């Protein structure tokens, strides 16, 4: 691959934008074209479930780059068009066509197609008052409906669902979360952290019902009126469905690329043909942590992963073959509770609660005696220390982690200077 | 229109026109000023927007809140008296001068 390649990036979310911007930052000389389906300039998604819904942040405040940035960096930004067809040439080159008839030739194709929210597959699940949240347009609809909503039912106790639940409760709605599993955040945090957050939501007036089986969304004139479960009906004038997102792999599949719950990529962000790149939410990759076993595959949906994975793809395009290693991190503001996660937990890891102040919650996960992940609520400084320690591959034995006399910040400082010396 | 002046570790200065009410972090990120990452978008979650604030307007930009203060102890480049997280620096009517540290988390 070379600095003169014309690069086409399909998808103008965080990962796609990052690829385009980093290419120019690194002095890439070829054409860079970024094609996004949405008609609006690239924006940040995390505030869509929080500040944007409450009205404290307007759409303008979400822009990832200023309007004149793209021209100044000579990045071709195509908005409101979907790439529907790609014809391959040799060595990774080809031609893409959009649904509006535009053709873009490329030497190198980058798929940053993201994911799409799963829908509720029950009668009434597609009614007007049943919403999902992924795009700015989704968030606009949700915000408008929230203004008038009194009874909000959130289907799914995952990150998006709980963030919206907290926001809706703060706006004065009566909120019930219906979670199919035995607890909230079942796939993403440990039992201890889930309990801590459930208590937080409860204290803020959000009711959580677990093991909920939804049978139907009862509608009247197209509007939601109630959600019917096997345990009875829950009144609702707004239903937000947050039951995960499916990676958008259609274009990859049409190119014959291997997909398996996402576009399968190697440690250089290369898809199975060895020339097409794929980044961010749409991809599946080997656990990138220093403690990964090389076999476990993960699909990571986070700003951090989008940014870091994009950096790996850009290095590959520029001909520097640095494999993708990272200690992923993630945050979710659920009302006033700031949840932060670093590393990737696996079944069998030993959970240890670190004694911390009221409202704070710090739990670490050890594998073979080594700290490999942590979950923190309400203690961003301690989180940063843990992120630094994990990034520096500092082992932090269980007894050290559990000792409140040990200042993690101090430990992080030592680990950082040790890393600098080691360089 | 106020301007933000970002001095890079190598001494070069980038000046960016800014809007009052925007943060020093967001202004940098939207204009591609290197060295200010702002990965969390300004939700006090990452401390990748650490800057050193010019003495001249430290007072007008206020003092760090509790979380910011603690987080500043954990930045990749050493904390100094002038250290702030630039997502918490809201631009007013006047120009702002900051220096970008050599390293972010």
A95-99, A116-120, A396-400, B44-48: least confidently modelled range: B44-48
Outline where DSSP puts E strands in A80-182. 83-88, 94-98, 103-106, 108-111, 115-117, 130-131, 151-155, 174-178
pLDDT band at A222; cut points 50, 70, 90: confident
Q: Which residue has 């950082």 as its token pair?
A: A416
Could you read off the pLDDT of A84-118 as tens digits, one per residue?
A: 999 999 889 999 999 999 999 999 999 999 999 99
Q: What is the DSSP string of A285-306?
A: EE--STT--SS-EE---SHHHH
Q: Which residue has 């201890």 as its token pair?
A: A192
Instruction: Write out chain B residues lying below 8 Å of A311, CB-based.
Output: none
**Cβ count within 10 A of residue B73:** 18
Query: Does pTM surpass 0.90?
Result: yes
Answer whether A65 sits within 8 Å of B34, measured CB to CB. Answer: no
Answer whether B45 sits within 8 Å of A340, measured CB to CB. Answer: yes
| pLDDT recorded at residue A360 | 94
Tell me, yes or no, if B13 comes closer than 8 A to chain A by beta carbon. no
Instruction: Write out chain A residues lying below 8 Å of B31, CB-based.
Output: 65-66, 69
Tell me, yes or no, if B82 comes closer than 8 A to chain A by beta carbon. no
B39/A304 Cα distance (integer angstroms): 7
Nearest to B32 among A21, A44, A391 (CB): A21
Q: Pick the most confident of A173-177, A220-224, B75-79.
A: A173-177
Q: Pick the most confident of A73-82, B44-53, B72-81.
A: A73-82
User: What contacts A393, CB < 8 A, 6 or more positions away?
Assistant: A290
A242/A120 Cα distance (integer angstroms): 9
- Is the model's pLDDT at A419 over the cut of 80? no
| pLDDT recorded at residue A2 | 84
| pLDDT recorded at residue B82 | 94
The mean predicted confidence, pLDDT, of chain A is 95
Q: Which two tokens stand for residue A166?
A: 């907290």
Q: What is the mean pLDDT of residues B88-93?
A: 94
Q: What CA–CA distances, in Å, run from A33 to A65, A109, A401? A: 15, 10, 47
| pLDDT recorded at residue B60 | 84
| pLDDT recorded at residue A211 | 98
Q: Which residue has 């009614």 as its token pair?
A: A127
Instruction: Write out chain A residues lying below 8 Å of B39, CB-based.
Output: 303-304, 307
Tell me, yes or no, if B32 comes closer than 8 A to chain A by beta carbon. yes
ipTM: 0.93
Q: Which two tokens stand for residue B84?
A: 């702030």
Q: Which two tokens stand for residue B35?
A: 């060295």
| pLDDT recorded at residue A422 | 58
Chain B residue closest in CA terms to A417: B76
- Spatial contact of A108 and A92, defined as CB atoms under 8 Å apart: yes
Instruction: Write out chain B residues lying below 8 Å of A42, CB-based.
Output: none
Cα dihedral: A301, A329, A364, A415 (round 10): 160
The mean predicted confidence, pLDDT, of chain B is 93
Could you read off the pLDDT of A274-320 as tens digits, one per residue?
A: 999 999 999 999 999 999 888 899 999 999 999 999 999 999 999 99
- Is the model's pLDDT at A263 over the cut of 90? yes
Instruction: Write out chain A residues lying below 8 Å of B45, CB-based.
Output: 331, 333, 338, 340, 380, 383
| pLDDT recorded at residue A416 | 84
- Spatial contact of A241 and A155, defined as CB atoms under 8 Å apart: yes
User: What contacts B103, CB < 8 A, 6 or more positions away?
Assistant: B76, B77
Nearest to B67 among A44, A63, A381 (CB): A381
A274/A276 Cα distance (integer angstroms): 6
Report strand pairing: B96-99 vs B3-7. Answer: parallel
Question: Min CA distance, A237 vs chain B (Å)?
Answer: 30
A401/A70 Cα distance (integer angstroms): 46
| pLDDT recorded at residue A420 | 62
A107/A105 Cα distance (integer angstroms): 7
Give the H/E segment covering residue A147. Answer: helix A136-148
A223/A133 Cα distance (integer angstroms): 18
A4-13, A49-58, A72-81, A172-181: least confidently modelled range: A49-58
- Is the model's pLDDT at B87 over the cut of 80? yes
Smallest CA-to-CA distance from A242 within A294, A191, A178, A196 is with A178
Burial classification of residue A222, based on how many CB atoms lie within 10 Å of its CB (0-12 exposed, 13-18 middle, 19 or more buried): exposed
Smallest CA-to-CA distance from B36 within B17, B46, B50, B20 is with B50
| pLDDT recorded at residue A90 | 87
Q: What is the mean pLDDT of residues A24-48?
A: 97
Tell me, yes or no, if A59 comes closer than 8 A to chain B by beta carbon. no
% of chain A exceeding 90 in pLDDT: 90
Question: Min CA distance, B31 vs chain A (Å)?
Answer: 6
Name all contacts of A397-400 with Cβ < 8 Å and 24+ positions apart: A397/A366, A397/A369, A397/A370, A397/A371, A398/A350, A398/A352, A398/A364, A398/A366, A398/A369
- Spatial contact of A6 and A104, defined as CB atoms under 8 Å apart: no
- Spatial contact of A68 and A26, defined as CB atoms under 8 Å apart: no
Q: What is the mean pLDDT of residues B16-20?
A: 94
Tell me, yes or no, if B31 comes closer than 8 A to chain A by beta carbon. yes
A371/A350 Cα distance (integer angstroms): 9
Q: What CA–CA distances, in Å, run from A232 to A123, A127, A157, A217, A410? A: 16, 20, 19, 12, 53
- How many interface pairs between A and B have CB atoms less than 8 angstroms apart? 68
């Amino acid at each position: 691959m070379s600095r003169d390649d014309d690069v086409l990036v399909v998808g103008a979310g965080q990962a796609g934008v990052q690829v385009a911007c980093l290419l120019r930052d690194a002095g890439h000389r070829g054409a860079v074209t970024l094609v996004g389906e949405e008609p609006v300039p690239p924006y940040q998604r995390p505030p869509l479930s929080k500040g944007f819904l409450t009205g404290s942040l307007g759409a303008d405040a979400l822009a990832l780059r200023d309007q004149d940035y793209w021209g100044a960096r000579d990045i071709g930004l195509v908005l409101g068009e979907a790439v529907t067809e790609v014809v391959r040439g040799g060595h990774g080159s080809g031609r893409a066509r959009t649904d509006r008839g535009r053709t873009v030739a490329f030497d190198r194709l980058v798929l940053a197609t993201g994911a799409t929210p799963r829908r509720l597959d029950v009668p009434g699940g597609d009614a007007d008052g049943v919403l999902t949240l992924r795009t700015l347009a989704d968030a606009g609809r949700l915000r408008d409906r929230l203004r008038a909503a009194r009874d909000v039912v959130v289907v799914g106790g995952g990150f998006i669902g709980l963030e919206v639940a907290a926001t809706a409760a703060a706006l004065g709605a009566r909120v019930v979360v219906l979670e199919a599993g035995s607890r909230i955040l079942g796939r993403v945090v440990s039992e201890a952290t889930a309990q801590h957050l459930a208590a937080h939501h409860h204290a803020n007036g959000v009711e959580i019902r677990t093991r909920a089986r939804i049978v139907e969304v009862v509608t009247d004139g197209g509007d939601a009126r109630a959600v019917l479960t096997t345990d009875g009906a829950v009144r609702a004038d707004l239903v937000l469905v947050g039951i995960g997102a499916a990676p958008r792999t259609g274009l990859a599949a049409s190119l014959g690329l291997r997909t398996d719950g996402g576009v399968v990529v190697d440690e250089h962000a290369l898809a199975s043909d060895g020339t097409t790149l794929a980044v961010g939410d749409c991809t599946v990759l080997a656990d990138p942590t220093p403690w990964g076993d090389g076999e476990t595959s993960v699909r990571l949906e986070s700003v951090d992963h989008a940014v870091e994975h994009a950096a790996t793809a850009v290095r590959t395009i520029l001909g520097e073959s640095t494999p993708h290693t990272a200690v992923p991190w993630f945050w979710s503001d659920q009302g006033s509770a700031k949840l932060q996660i670093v590393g990737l937990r696996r079944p069998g890891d030993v959970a240890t609660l670190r004694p911390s102040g009221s409202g704070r919650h710090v739990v670490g996960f050890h594998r073979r005696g080594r700290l490999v992940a942590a979950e923190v609520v309400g203690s961003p400084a301690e989180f940063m220390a843990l992120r630094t320690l994990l990034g520096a591959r500092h082992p932090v034995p269980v007894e050290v982690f559990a000792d409140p006399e040990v200042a993690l910040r101090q430990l992080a400082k030592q680990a950082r200077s040790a890393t600098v010396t080691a360089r | 229109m106020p301007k933000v002046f970002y001095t890079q570790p190598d001494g070069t200065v980038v000046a960016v026109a800014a809007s009052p009410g925007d943060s020093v972090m967001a202004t940098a990120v939207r204009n591609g000023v290197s060295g200010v990452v702002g990965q969390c978008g300004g939700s006090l979650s990452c401390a990748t927007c650490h800057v050193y604030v010019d003495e001249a307007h430290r007072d007008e930009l206020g003092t760090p809140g509790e979380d910011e203060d603690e987080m500043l102890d954990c930045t990749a480049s050493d904390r100094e008296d002038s250290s702030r997280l630039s997502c918490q620096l809201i631009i007013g009517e006047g120009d702002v001068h900051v220096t970008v540290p050599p390293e972010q988390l």
